[in-house]
Amino acid sequence: MIRVGFLLNFPVEYKGGINYLKNLFYAVHKFHSEEIKIVLFVPDDLEQEYILMFCDYAEIIKTKIIQRKSLAWFVSKVGQKALNYDLLTNSLLHRHRINVISHSNYVYPGNKIKTINWIPDFQRLHYPHLWNKKQLKSEQKLHQGWVEKSDRIVVSSYDALKDLASLYPEYQKNTKVLHFVSQPDILKYQEERDISKYTNGKYYYLPNQFWEHKNHLVVFKAVKILKDRGINIVVLTSGLMNDFRNNDNHVNKLRAYVNDNQLDQNIRFLGLIPYLDVLQLIKSSLAVINPSFFEGWSSTVEESKSIGKKIILSNIEVHKEQCPKFGFYFDPTNEIELAFILENLWNAEQNEPEETKEELLRLLDINTKSFSDNYRSIIFELF
């Protein structure tokens, strides 16, 4: 039995990271639990809802070493910075007999524990203007360290692999593509959750974080085009409403655009909402929208694929690689093109894809096994 450790050392508000881990743990537990034991190290003060989210698929170990602002956390950080050696974390991993440390923004010094690091994307390569110099330098330093010192690097798409090869060609051989698969609990999902607090009519759904590259504005402009023509559609948005890179100036601009153009009844900001509500809103929507300029591997697209939902998405390369069966592509700079798609689907008589629950479950099981098998191969290649 290989014990694979993960450090939950990022803010839980990063829902994409939380859902990625949940999906990976579920897949490994379902198909390879006799060979691989997932061990998740979490902050000592982590909320119980996250413990419950992971406990069916992983051994949960609480520690103050990754509890921000605790004494152990400070000692760990100081040791890593001053000595390039994190004695506390290293001891923690040895104490719990970890064979591989994975997806943890951490490199074990030496060969006793193998290291796998995940780089979700190389957005900095394509949109450096979204970062300040300090952020760019930090991101570059992190990636450089992981690529040079990890036993394996995992990326989520061949598009990201192409970027890595352009930056670090000599390390391409140590990099593996791992397409993740979203696991919306279809059985729970069929039990209708009450979403009347969000809406009572038909709507499109845009469940993306409010970072500038997520490109909400093109959707808002398309909604305005339709409203000016007397067509009032509704778009619900959810996600964390801040962008750490620009002190929320981007979010303020989006709100101002909605207010200035009297779109308050057309575009509704829900903020952070429970994940099961997100799934229900996906299921009940006319279609999901992902207008992003850039993605590593979109969880929004994967959730829509697993559920069999129509999705309107930007025609970027990674979205094409994800290839949703019920996808409608548009130029992310062209609000007129998007408005045309939104109008056609809004007025269509039949908007639900013909996909049975049984067929969805069958396809999801196939994709999940492939996800799990690929991760297993990455681990066993290290030994």
User: Do residue 168 and residue 191 come from a single domain?
Assistant: no
Q: Encode the chain (383 residues) as per-residue pLDDT tens digits.
A: 999 999 999 888 777 788 899 999 999 999 999 999 999 999 999 999 899 989 999 999 999 999 998 998 888 888 777 777 788 999 999 999 999 999 999 999 888 999 999 998 998 888 888 888 888 888 899 899 999 999 999 999 999 999 999 999 999 999 999 999 988 764 455 567 788 899 889 999 999 988 889 999 999 999 999 999 999 999 999 988 877 676 668 888 999 999 999 999 999 999 989 888 888 899 899 999 999 999 989 988 998 988 889 999 999 999 999 999 899 999 999 999 999 999 999 998 665 656 777 888 888 899 999 999 999 999 999 99
Whether residue 359 lies inside any domain: the answer is no
pLDDT of res. 125: 86
pLDDT of res. 222: 98
Whether residue 361 lies inside any domain: the answer is no
User: Do residue 241 and residue 314 come from a single domain?
Assistant: yes
User: Do residue 70 and residue 153 come from a single domain?
Assistant: yes
Distance from C-alpha of 290 to C-alpha of 58, rounded to nearest angstrom: 31
Whether residue 358 lies inside any domain: the answer is no
What per-residue string of b and e applies to 25-37 under the rule 16 or more CB within 10 Å gives b? bbbbbebbeeebb
Distance from C-alpha of 17 to C-alpha of 26, rounded to nearest angstrom: 14
User: Do residue 230 and residue 158 come from a single domain?
Assistant: no
What is the span of the domain harbouring residue 224? 186-352
Whether residue 360 lies inside any domain: the answer is no
Q: Note the pTM of the prediction, 2 decimals.
A: 0.86
Q: Please give the tally of structural domains in the chain.
A: 2
Cα distances (angstroms) measured from residue 78 to each of 73, 136, 141, 254, 296: 9, 22, 18, 39, 31
User: Do residue 155 and residue 222 come from a single domain?
Assistant: no
pLDDT of res. 128: 86
Distance from C-alpha of 366 to C-alpha of 30, rounded to nearest angstrom: 12
User: Do residue 107 and residue 207 come from a single domain?
Assistant: no
User: Do residue 251 and residue 217 come from a single domain?
Assistant: yes
Beta-bridge partners for 329: 313
User: Do residue 245 and residue 151 come from a single domain?
Assistant: no
pLDDT of res. 351: 59
User: Do residue 205 and residue 347 come from a single domain?
Assistant: yes
Residue that has been written with the tokens 């609000």 in this structure: 335
pLDDT of res. 187: 47
* CATH number of the domain residue 344 falls in: 3.40.50.2000
